[in-house]
């Protein structure tokens, strides 16, 4: 089955997987990471925020890249888009 999937199906699967990953990451950040910001004092905040930003960029960068490539590729891939 996997070898017989159309290119537009692969593109849609990649975009969907990246979207679900980012959804889970978003909820984790909202429920766990952002509340923890309150535990950081004002003098420690700049270093903490810089470290947080670097770590988060590594987590969201790959799925954002997948979504971007899929968004650009989908109009170029011939055939219909899957119904799902």
Instruction: Give the span between the Cα atoms of 12 and 79, in whole angstroms.
Output: 12
Handedness of CA 36, 41, 42, 46 (dihedral sign): negative
Q: What is the pLDDT of residue 3?
A: 67
Q: What is the pLDDT of residue 2?
A: 62
17 located within any domain: yes
51 located within any domain: yes
54 located within any domain: yes
Average pLDDT over residues 34-49: 94
In the chain, how many domains are there?
1
Residue 68, pLDDT > 60, answer yes
69 located within any domain: yes
Average pLDDT over residues 48-55: 93
Q: What is the mean pLDDT of the chain?
A: 90
Q: What is the pLDDT of residue 80?
A: 81
80 located within any domain: no
**What range does the domain containing 50 cover?**
12-37+45-73
25 located within any domain: yes
Q: How is residue 81 annotated by DSSP?
A: P
Q: What is the pLDDT of residue 78?
A: 81
26 located within any domain: yes
Instruction: Give the span between the Cα atoms of 14 and 62, in whole angstroms.
Output: 12
5 located within any domain: no
């Amino acid at each position: 089955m996997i070898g017989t999937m159309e290119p537009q199906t692969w593109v849609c699967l990649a975009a969907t997987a990246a979207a679900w990953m980012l959804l889970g990451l978003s909820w984790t950040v909202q429920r766990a990471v952002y509340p923890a910001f309150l535990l950081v004092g004002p003098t420690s905040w700049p270093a903490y925020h810089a470290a947080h930003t670097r770590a988060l960029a590594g987590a969201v960068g790959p799925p954002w890249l997948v979504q971007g490539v899929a968004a650009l590729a989908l109009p170029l891939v011939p055939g219909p888009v899957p119904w799902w």
